[in-house]
Structure 1
Amino acid sequence: MALPALSLSLQFGRFKDVERHRAALPRHRVTRWIRHALDIDGEITVRIVDAEEGQRLNREFRGKDYATNVLTFDYAQSPIVMADLVLCAPVVAREAKENRKTLADHYAHLLVHGTLHAQGWDHETSEADADEMEAYEIDILAEMGIRSPYGK
């Protein structure tokens, strides 16, 4: 089965250690990770930011005054998925280290997670929805040879 098409814009802010994050996110891998999570074709911008920008966006758009790992801004789910995924590099790096995962594997998980959000998946609506989304993430990552981010 062919994967959906993806038009990808990959952007990096200016921050300390940006080259480490660029190395973990080569365009072909980011494209692969997102395409595996898409149900239909998509136009997605991925932006890697510092803690300041991540916190500002989270505060402005979610009312939460801290930097989070990934923010999803979805604009359309039909006839194509259109979204921006904003990942906060320092948070992603810290979480990867705490969970003993490679930086690339953690980015893969968060890009899959954000792409699912862009298609209407929501883990905050109920425990059943969270369990379903988590199981789907595990399956998508397993297709690409990436172990479960949930230790299952």
Structure 2
Amino acid sequence: MTAIIDYQQAFDTDESLLASLPNEAQVTEWASAVLSQLEISDKEITVRFVNADESQQLNNDYRGKDKPTNVLSFPFECPPEVPLDLLGDLVICVPVIAQEAKEQHKPIAHHYAHMIVHGTLHLLGYDHIEDDEAEEMEALEILILAKLSIDDPYQDD
């Protein structure tokens, strides 16, 4: 139950943001925690770290929201006859993650972990549009992050 990560750094930015990026092993650990919790066999995930411009463009093109966002999830829908373990793509906006971590007074690595867990759950079909879906998804996130020794991301400061 391991995530196979295609790690992509697709931006140039200042040194502090580059230094804050999680490495491939961390991303693999976080995504694998989701697969393990849900007892899902090995899956491949592309994780692409981008700037605000790319995030905003994708968010506008695919969600009709003309602003950058922390994480976008693009599930891969493979025809049943094709034996491929690709789960999909996660697009992580580095400047948004850094700003949110600062505003929420949490370690940036914990926020990255939360967004990888959150995005991976989206790739697996979880959503938070309806209240009951949100409660289920958030409970899973809290449980998985706790196993990674990361505090509940939804708790108040």
Offset, 1:123: 0.5
Aligned equivalents of 1:118, 1:12: Cα separation in 2: 20
Aligned equivalents of 1:115, 1:21: Cα separation in 2: 22
SS in 2 for 1:25: coil
- The CA deviation string for residues 82-135 of structure 1, in whole angstroms up to 9 with x for no partner, is 1100011111100000000111100000000000000000101x1011011101
Offset, 1:81: 5.0
Offset, 1:5: 2.3
Aligned to 1:49: 50
SS in 1 for 2:98: helix
Aligned equivalents of 1:67, 1:114: Cα separation in 2: 15
Aligned to 1:89: 94
Alignment of 1:1-152 (within 5 A): 4-17=1-14, 20-21=17-18, 23-38=20-35, 39=38, 40=40, 41-76=42-77, 80=85, 82-124=87-129, 126-151=130-155
Offset, 1:80: 3.7
Offset, 1:58: 0.4
- The CA deviation string for residues 36-77 of structure 1, in whole angstroms up to 9 with x for no partner, is 112322110100100000000001111111101000000148
Consecutive unaligned residues in structure 2, runs of 5 or more: none
Offset, 1:19: 5.9
TM-score for the superposition, normalised by structure 1 = 0.90
* AA aligned opposite 2:73: T
Offset, 1:23: 4.4
Query: What do you get for the CA RMSD once the two structures are aligned?
Result: 1.8
Q: Which ranges of 4 or more aligned residues in structure 1 deviate by more than 3 Å?
A: 18-24, 76-81
SS in 1 for 2:76: strand
SS in 1 for 2:66: coil
Aligned equivalents of 2:131, 2:51: Cα separation in 1: 31
Consecutive unaligned residues in structure 1, runs of 5 or more: none
SS in 2 for 1:59: helix
* AA aligned opposite 1:111: I
Asked whether the 8 Å contact 1:34–1:111 carries over to 2, the reply is yes
Asked whether the 8 Å contact 1:43–1:82 carries over to 2, the reply is yes
Aligned equivalents of 1:21, 1:112: Cα separation in 2: 21
